[in-house]
Each structure stands twice: as C-alpha cells, then as structure tokens.
Chain A
Amino acid sequence: MNEKKSDLLQGTLDMLILKTVALGPIHGYGISLRIQQISQEVLQVQQGSLYPALHRLEHRGWLTAEWGESENGRMAKFYQLTAAGRQQLVAEAENWQRLSQAVTLIMALEGGTK
C-alpha cells in the first residue's frame, strides 16, 4: 500500500525540513515553497511525504508547533526547532557533508563518464 521510502531519501527529507525550519518559525505550506525556491525548483517536496514527516519529527521532539496567524491572515500551524532538533540538524548536516564528499570523490575519478 503505502510504499516506504528508502532510508536515505527519508533521512534527507527530514534534514531538509529541519534546516528550513531552523531559519525561523514556518508552516507546512511555507516549508514546501521554501525548499522549492531555495533549491531553484530542483527539489519538489510531495505533500504526501511532507506532512507525515513533519508529524513524525514533532513526535520525536525535534520540532514543536504553535498555531499563529499567517501572512494571508489565516490561522496556520507554525513549526519551530527544539534544542534536540538543533542537535539533530548539526549531526545530520555533518553526516551529509561526509556522505556527499565521499560521493563527490568517487564521481571525480577520471574515466567512465562519457
């Protein structure tokens, strides 16, 4: 039924959400817009993944949420990073650094491509 995303992808989405929320309190719609904008339309977050991920992160205690007025005057649920979430973000960022460097190193090898 609901296909489970691979760990890498799921972990990456979590990290992106944490990073986006780290910039300041933001609601779910805002997060999807911001990721899209900052990544210059490369990354498009499916709502089907975004909201379950937000709730999961909230239940893990990495995010807290509060209802507040949005820019268009409606009530929206604003997410905010907790101390634990900040630590998690640092850890995941470091992890991501290592991983992407490693991938870059391998891909930088001469030959094969082309």
Chain B
Amino acid sequence: MRFWKTWFRRAQDDRQLDAELQFHLDSRAEALRAQGLSPAEARRRARLEFGGVDQISEECRDSRPARWLYDLAQDLHYAWRMMKKSPLVSAAAVLSLALGIGANTAIFSLLDAILLRELPVAKPGELVVLNWQTKQGFAGRRSERFFERYSGSIQPPGMVGNAFSYAAYEALHAQAKDFAPVAAFLEMNRFSVAARGNTHAVSGQLVSGSYFPMLGIEARVGRLLSAEDDRAGAPATAVVSHRFYERALGADPAQIGQVIRVNNVAATVVGVTPPSFYGHEVGAHPDITLTLPHLRELDPEFVKGMGDPFTNRTSWAIQMLARLRDPAMPLAQLETRLSPLLLSTLETVPVKPELIPRLRLEPAARGISGLRRGINVTFGVLLGSTMLVLLIASANVANLLLARAMGRRREIAVRLSMGASRSRLWRQISSEFLLLAVLGATASLLIAYLAPAWLVTLLPSRGEEELTLPLRFDWRLLLSTAGFALGITFLFGAIPAWRATRLNVTGALKENSGSLGADAGRGRLGKLLIVGQVALSLLLLAAAGMFVRTLDNLHAVDLGFVRDRIVLFTLNAAQVGYGAQQRPAFYERTARELERIAGVESVSASLIRPLMGGGYWDDVSSPKFETKGRKTIGVGVHMGLPGFASTLGVKVLAGRDLDERDGAKSPKVMVVNETFAREAYGGRNPVGESVMLGDPKAVSYQIVGLVRDGRYSRLHEKTATVYVAAVQQETMPEQMTFAVRTRTSPAQLLPLVRAAVARVEPNIPLVQLRTLDDQVDEFLRPERLLAILGGTFALLALALSAVGIFGVMAYQAGRRRQEIGVRLALGAGRGRILSMVLRESVVTVLCGILLGLPLALLLPKLVDNLLYGLKASDPRAFLAAALVLLATALAAAWIPAWRAARLDPVAALREE
C-alpha cells in the first residue's frame, strides 16, 4: 500500500522535498540576517552550513521504499528515448525477441498441457495410480504366472504393470482404509453410440461407482455415476462428456434421462461431466462412461478373449486410481501395508520371491498418460530448438545494444569520473535490454495465443479424432513468458553493460572518435557473439536438414502397393451385435455391396490396418527352413477376406493370391511375401511348401503364392508378412479394415462407401474412413512435425544470424571509415577494401562453423530414433548447413563491404 502511494506520488514528493529543504535554508538565512549579516551574505552562509542540497535530497530519495522502482522507471524512460532514435532497428530487435520468446512459450504451452498440468479435479495432489511390481520378469514357465490373460502395460525393471484383477480392486476397495476411496476403470477404445438417429464412434471407459466420487467432480447437468449404478443387475446408465453432449445431444438438457444405444445396449444418459474434465489421462478425453458390470453386455468378445474379469482371478485388465486419506504418509509405507491385500487375491502365489507382485503407488496429480512416453524425445528436440532460437535472437539484441553503449563511451566515462556508481550504470544499460525484452514478450503473447492450437494439429492424432489437449491461455503462460524475458535480460543484458562499464575512464576520455584500435575490444566481443550465433544456427540447420530428409525418405519409401487409389475404413461387427458365426457373412455382404459402387475396382479386408504401427504377430515354423539353426520366423499376419494383397496392388510374383476357393472347409493356405521367402528359404520360390503357423497351437498351412513386399506395420521397415483367409481361422476377427481400390481419385467415393455400408448395417460406424495417402500422412505426423518446426526454427535462426552479421559488419565498417579513407587515399583498390570487409565476415563465420560442427556431429546419435534412411556419418547435412551459413554471411556482409569500398576518401578523412 504505502509502496504504491509513494510510487504514484513521487513527483509531488520531489516538490515537497525541495520545499522542505528550501524552508530550512530560508529560515537559517533569516536567523543569520537577524544577527546582522547582509541578505546576500546570510543566504551564502546558510547554503554553506547546509552542505550539498542535491546530495541531501538524493539521500532522502534513497530512503523511499520504491527507490529502485523509481530508478527503473527512469531507466526505462531513457531506454525508450534511445529506442525511438532508431525505430527500425529497435522494431527488428523487438520482433526477433518476440519470435524467440513466442516459439518457446508455444512449445511450453503444449508441454504444460501434456506434462505439467494437474487434473481438473478436487485436490489432485491426493491422487495416486496403482501399479504392481515384481523384481524379475517371467522366464516363460506358465506355472509361475499369477495371471493367465492380461490387458495393460508391463514395463521393466522387473515387471511394472498397471492392470489388476477385479478381485484385487474389490479387496482394496473393501479393506484399504488408507484410500478414500479407490476407483477402478477400464478404457474402451471404441464405443459405437447411437443417439438421436446418428451413430458415433467414440472413446469411452467403464468405471467403478467410486470413480466420480473419488475424483470429486460435480455434474454439469444431471448427475454422475455412483455406487448405485455399480450394483450387480443395475440398469445401464451412462455419463457423457460435455463435448459429446454438445455434439451428439445438441446440448439439450431434455436428453438427460433419454435412452441411447451403446454397442447396441440400451443405456440411460444420467448426466454430463464439466467442460474442463477430460478424464484422468491427458489427450484421451473419453466421451462416454458406464459402470464396469456392464462390460459383459457391452463387449462380450473382450470377456470371451480375456476371461470374465469379475469371476476369474487370472484375468487382469482393471486399472486403479485412488485418493489418499492422508497425503502426508510416505507411499513406501502404504505399499508395504497394502501389498498383502493384493497377495490375498492371487489365484496362485509364485514360488520364487522375485516373482511375487507388490503394490506400487505413484503420484497421479497430473493424471496418467501414454502420450508422455511417446513424445518426450520429440518435445525435447523442439524445446531445445526454440531455446537456441531465443539465444540467437538475444545475441542479436545484445550486439545492437553493445554498439549503442560503445557509441556512448565518452558519456559513460564522464559519468564514471563524476562518481556515478558502476552498478547504477550497469542497471541503466541493461534496462535497455529489459525494455526490448518486455516489448518482445508482449508481442510474443500473440504467438503464444495462436500457435499452440496449430501445433496440436501437427501432433499425432488419437485414432479418429484430433488430440484434445487442455490448452489454456492463463497465468502459467504469462509467467513463463515473463520468465523467458527476464532470463535473457539477465544473460544477455549484462553483456553490453559489463563491457561498457569496464572501460578505462582516462583512455575513453582522451581518445577521439577516429583513433584506430580503440574499439578492438568491442569488436572482439561483438564477433564472439556472432561466432556463437553461427555455431547454434549450424546446429539448427543441420538438424532441420536431417528431419526434412527423414520425411522425404519416408515419403519416397516404396510401399509395395499403390497408395493413391485406396480407401480404408474399419468396421467392428462385434460391437453392433454380430456373433462369431454371423460375422463372415456380414463382411462378405459388405464387400459385395462395396464392389457394386461404380468406379470401384476391387474390395478386400484384413484384421490389420496397414501402416498404423499396429500388427498381429505370430510365428511360422518348418523343419525345412533354410536358416541357420532357426526354425521359426516371426511374421506379421494379414488375416482377412480373399485378395487383400491384390486389392492393395501388391504384385503376385509366383503362384496365386488367396481367392474364393479358400473357404472354411478347404485346405488351409497362405500367401507369403519376398522378405519371408528370403528369411525362410534364402529367397527361392516357396510356393508349394508346407509350414506351421501359430504359437503355441500350430496349424499346418500350404504356401500357394509369393507376393512382393508391402509395408506392414510401419513405413520404416520391411516385415516378413503372410496373408491368410479369416474364414479358415478358429475365430472370425471382431473387426476388419476394408480396403477399396478405385479406378479414379477416391475422394469423391467416400459418401458412396458410407452409403453402401449403411445398406448392409445402418448402425455400424465407419472408423477412420480415409484414403491410404491420408493415412500415410497421418502416420508420418511426428516426422512432419519435426520437419516443419525444425525447418521453421532453422530459417528463423538463419535470418537472425544474417541480421546479426550485417549489424556487426556495418558497425565495424562505420568505425573504420577513417582507416579505410586512409587506405584508399594511399592507393588501395576498391576491390581490396571490399574483400577486406568480406574476409572479416567469412573468418568470423568460419570460426562459428568450426565451433558448431563438433556439436552438430553429435546430433544424429542424440536423435537417432527420429531419423530414417540417414547414415550418422553422412556429411551432406552438415556440409549443406555450413555452405548455407557461409553464403548467408557473404550476403549479409555485402552491403557494408560495398559501402566501405565506395567511400569517398576525402570526405571520410575530413570527418572529425
């Protein structure tokens, strides 16, 4: 309070201070006059006795609490006047800082949303996620396993898993008094939800009745799920996300209480979660939530495949979150106390103590996220790049201010000799940087406001939907922006201040503007900054080069099939009620219906969607394999309708593709690709051979065809692949990805495809309906993200460095006008002057390149798994980066060099 009062009243305070001191002087003079002195003499004596009025009033000002702020305001005011003197240069400085800071804040905003932000629930600090851990992994013996079927993640060290049996949840829920309470959940990738006449494919989850009470959130509309909904035999009730409420239910409160169909099961919508709530996992955003007991109706296939988790203690699929009753209690202590509860629910307790699972609790204030694991390296690279850009921009501004401060060296020397403190001058000079940084930071907010939403679209999407991140433009962003601005001020604002206040006072006062060599120090420092900029730019350019080439290489990969005339989409027949017996006919009918569309060349389907990073992996074995010792080969399996390879455009090299002859009753056959033939048979034609497929239950197949390699799971690698007919398998897949090859560009066929499927089954959603080209683009998003942003940052760095080089060279040439004039007068040719200035710039840049090169050579090792098709020793990226930098340096130095060479020696020498 007082602080601000003083601050705003400082002008008035100054007047009052003057008046107060004047009163003293006048009173004393009056007293002296009364003693008989003449008025003039009295005034003189009073002043003499009083001492230095200015000094005293300065000391009085020093005692004000807001003194430093007052000084700062004065400094900033002065800095503002300096800035206005050269508006263009200042604007360039502000712009480059704005870009540098804005890029950092934008990346930080994403990081914040993914890594740092706490869940929008009550007291997130009390939440923990439950895992189990063993000291060792299973060695393979089944008897040691405490689960038969498992759906979740298991990671080293030993094993750390996140899925439990339902029995474990029940035990913890009933008996763990340290939890208030514990909640169970099961993520469901796809629900097909029919509401108000439309069917939507959405992500959802099944939770225990304790889930919402544990999170402590309130319904936006209606109510959330509770223990009542979790009873055995309770009617199906669903809570939807606010997003779904708006999109699918028309944000109509009357929809609460209505019945929707979830995977063809009737469920009553009871409420809507708040708009800020995105579940417990960043990036996931489940749109619909039901209670766990309905798993049996909602996903009978899951229950069939996994075993009924509610009755079977060896079926582990349930994940758990809990709220701690006492957040201060050490987690290790809780783990020890609660582990016996987990142990009591095991079907069989392993004999080896290293294999006995123990409870492991981890803080979950920020939720749990699979996203985090995947993009850490990418984000590390991006954040590193933006930091480098900011450093380069800051070095430019430091260089600019250095030139300005050195232009004022006489003034500074005078002030130092008059007794100004170095720290005061230091503050004044660095406040110029502060002003530019603050202006830059303010301008950068525009970038920080707009860029993150755009960046999200570059991030890998989540299945059908774009990633939804809880991006917010809030105080955290403002704080980080301010942090960046202050950080660079401390680091770089100090450089000109340090240099300018370090000058030799007598030397600076004596020197005249034309003396040679006086600026050597300033020149060195300025060039040193350039060297640093060039080194960092080299890093960014080399990295961008590698990322762009990686993307190029991946785009150029021969998929082994046509990519521009194929439409893909996934249908899950099981979800809409087709049993294993009905599914073959359903898929068959769908394929026939699709073939009737004009412009469709051929239709087929496979369990696996190619090039999505997924796969169905199995083993093929034969005693006749021509491999050294190895009689088993791991393969990716395409299990589907006949002709999948041909539909994709994979060439048949020998034998035939699967076709109508390969029915359920006919002999089991497979088609293999070249990689398989090479791995198993040393490349000879394998048609006619017999092999066993499957582990551990192997079934005999005959190879009837050899096809070209087509990429299977990822673009990055060739996979030994086999094609088998789904009807010849034990169970028909629940879902199939259809491939439709068209004669023309497929984009306009998309609505016809939709209609054709609807004619067979109106309730089934088409998941990820898109062309193969789009899918490849989709798959390459991480690479594209790096190439686009890496390229942007590299260009930015290049432009900033060019500005820096131009500035320093122009300054140098300007300071050396007289020297150059002398040289010209003595007969030096203009070409010589030109090359002299250019040489200086080239040497500086070469120093930077030499400094940056060893760092850049470390890059490929650092980001190895982000690259494709590049050899670590490949010098091209570095060479190109170095050449680009050199060319830029020459171009940037050209104008000052040209101007120096055209100098009129007479005019230059006359200046003084």
State the A residues within 8 Å of B (CB). Answer: 1-2, 27-29, 32, 46-48, 51-52, 54-56, 59, 61, 67, 70, 72, 74-77
Contact = CB atoms under 8 A, between A and B. Distances in A.
Given A28-B20, A75-B19, A52 B56 contact: yes
Contact of B23 (A46, A52, A74): A74
B566 to A, nearest CB: 79
A74 B26 contact: yes
Contacts of A46: 51
B23 A29 contact: yes
A2 to B, nearest CB: 6
Contacts of A59: 2, 6, 63-65
Interface in B5-61: 6, 16-17, 19-21, 23-24, 26-28, 30, 49-52, 55-57, 59-60
Contact of B51 (A27, A48, A72, A74): A48
A1 B20 CA distance: 24
Given A47-B50, A48-B55, A51-B60, A70 B23 contact: yes
Contact of B24 (A2, A47, A55): A47
B20 A51 contact: yes
A52 B59 contact: yes
Contacts of A51: 20-21, 24, 56-57, 59-60
A56 B421 contact: no
Interface in B123-152: none
B62 interface: yes
Contacts of B51: 46-48
Interface of B: 2, 6, 16-17, 19-21, 23-24, 26-28, 30, 49-52, 55-57, 59-60, 62-65, 419, 421
A34 B144 CA distance: 97
15 contacts: A2-B55, A28-B23, A48-B51, A48-B55, A48-B56, A51-B24, A51-B56, A55-B17, A55-B63, A59-B2, A70-B23, A70-B27, A74-B26, A76-B23, A77-B20
B56 A27 contact: no
Given A1-B421, A28-B24, A77-B16, A72 B30 contact: yes
B323 to A, nearest CB: 47
A48 B52 contact: yes
Contacts of A74: 23, 26-27
A56 B61 CA distance: 9
Contacts of A32: 24
Contact of B64 (A27, A55, A72): A55
A75 B24 contact: no
Nearest to B64: A59
Contacts of B64: 55, 59
B446 to A, nearest CB: 41
A25 B65 CA distance: 24
Nearest to A67: B16
Contacts of B419: 1
A29 B27 contact: yes
Contacts of B30: 72
Contacts of B28: 29
Nearest to B21: A51
Contact of B63 (A47, A52, A70): A52
A54 B60 CA distance: 8
A29 B6 CA distance: 24
A67 B17 CA distance: 12
B442 to A, nearest CB: 32
Contacts of B19: 75, 77
B20 A52 contact: no
Given A27-B23, A59-B6, A76-B20, A52 B60 contact: yes
Contacts of B21: 51
List the 10 closest A-B pairs by CB distance, nearest first. Answer: A52-B59, A56-B63, A55-B60, A55-B63, A29-B24, A29-B27, A77-B20, A48-B51, A76-B23, A47-B50
Given A59-B64, A70-B23, 11 more contacts: A2-B55, A28-B23, A28-B24, A32-B24, A48-B52, A48-B55, A51-B20, A51-B59, A72-B30, A74-B26, A76-B23
Most buried by B among A28, A59, A70, A74: A59
A56 B56 CA distance: 13
Contacts of A77: 16, 19-20, 23
Contact of A48 (B16, B27, B59, B65): B59
A52 B55 CA distance: 10
A95 to B, nearest CB: 22
Contact of A2 (B6, B27, B59): B59
Nearest to A77: B20
A68 B808 CA distance: 60
A51 B63 CA distance: 10
B13 to A, nearest CB: 9
Contacts of A27: 20, 23
A77 B24 CA distance: 10
A47 B50 CA distance: 6
Count chain A CB atoms within 10 A of each CB in B6, B24, B49, B421 and give the residue with the most. B24
B23 to A, nearest CB: 5
A55 B50 CA distance: 17
A28 B24 CA distance: 7
Contacts of A55: 17, 60, 63-64
